[in-house]
Amino acid sequence: MAPVNRINIQSYFETRSKVPLIDVRSPAEFEKGHIPGAINLPLFENEERAKVGILYKQSGKLNAILKGLDIVGRKQTEIAKNAIKISKNNKLNIHCWRGGMRSESVAWLLSLIGLDCAVLEGGYRAYRRYIKNEFSKSWKFIIIGGMTGSGKTDLIENLAKKNKQVIDLERLANHKGSAFGGIGKGNQPGTEQFENNLYEEFLGFEINQEIWIEDESKSVGRVNIPDEIFLNMRKSPVVEIKMNKEWRIQRLVKEYAGLDAEHLTAAILRIQKRLGGLNTKTCLKAIEDGDFEKAIELVLMYYDKAYQKGLAFRETKSILPFKIANKNFEVNAELLLEYYKTQNPQIN
């Protein structure tokens, strides 16, 4: 096999908008985690990859390669036709797990039909190392904290409209973080893909500029915030959003009252040990009766205590209280920026 062209991970990010990327790993590998924007053009299907792997362990490398050639031989035309459709200006970048035999063989095949291909050095594994290293940089987070229902996500969205650097972890996780957070949301990504999608948010960020990010626990539903990011969040300044309980309950009623009562019941049962038997029973009856204000007020007893407990682990001097006195969150976002600047005159 003739030598193939290679591209390092840094160069890939610099040229990604101009050259499509194909991921030749199996569909299962791709589903677990892939580079956002990559197109899966598998050399082996899941079962085929498993067979080659077993043969490698049992009979050695040569027999595994021969089996692989036998499988791929029947697919070459289909792979080539699909690659032509995906290519842009006759160019493609290719990767597998380590930038080895799978991606090299596909690059060789596609070069025969005149495509200009480059293999990503180190493959998907190099990409994962790269983003982990990027997460470890000294990003300047400002944490938006506050009790459940106080409008943290609304502030994030409105700060984004003002061209501030923001990260909406709950949007990326497709979950709101609480026992109720997955209702009506559909499936979450796996943790690995969540991390990959999260890194996309950092592309184009200026490291010397503040990034507004909502306070979260380590887990957002079933996905975990990367250690590198979470540790940075825990030592970053917090703007604690203060909103009166009545407004919070009104907002939460609007958000949850229209959802499936069975799902709400199931969510309450997931936290029944923390709510206590009597509160759980009262809460379930309130939902049955359609009294969502009462149900939410009871649930907030637990979540407010949990929030205060978590806040106690932070340094008091790093917590800045910000009172919400307006129901217009476009206005609130502007007031928040003004408030934070008075506390930190050096920010832009």
Domain ranges of the chain: 5-131, 134-343
Q: What pTM does this model have?
A: 0.89
Q: Point out the residues that are catalytic.
A: 96
* Percent share of the chain, pLDDT over 70: 91
Which pLDDT band, with edges at 50, 70 and 90, does 274 fall under?
Answer: confident
pLDDT digits (tens, 9 = 90+) for 57-113: 777 666 566 665 666 657 888 999 999 999 999 999 999 999 888 899 899 899 999
The pLDDT value given to residue 62? 63
- CATH number, domain 5-131: 3.40.250.10
The pLDDT value given to residue 70? 65
CATH class (in words) of the domain with range 134-343? alpha beta
The pLDDT value given to residue 212? 98
The pLDDT value given to residue 202? 97
β-pairing, 5-7 vs 116-120, is: parallel
pLDDT digits (tens, 9 = 90+) for 196-237: 999 999 998 999 999 999 999 999 999 999 999 999 999 999
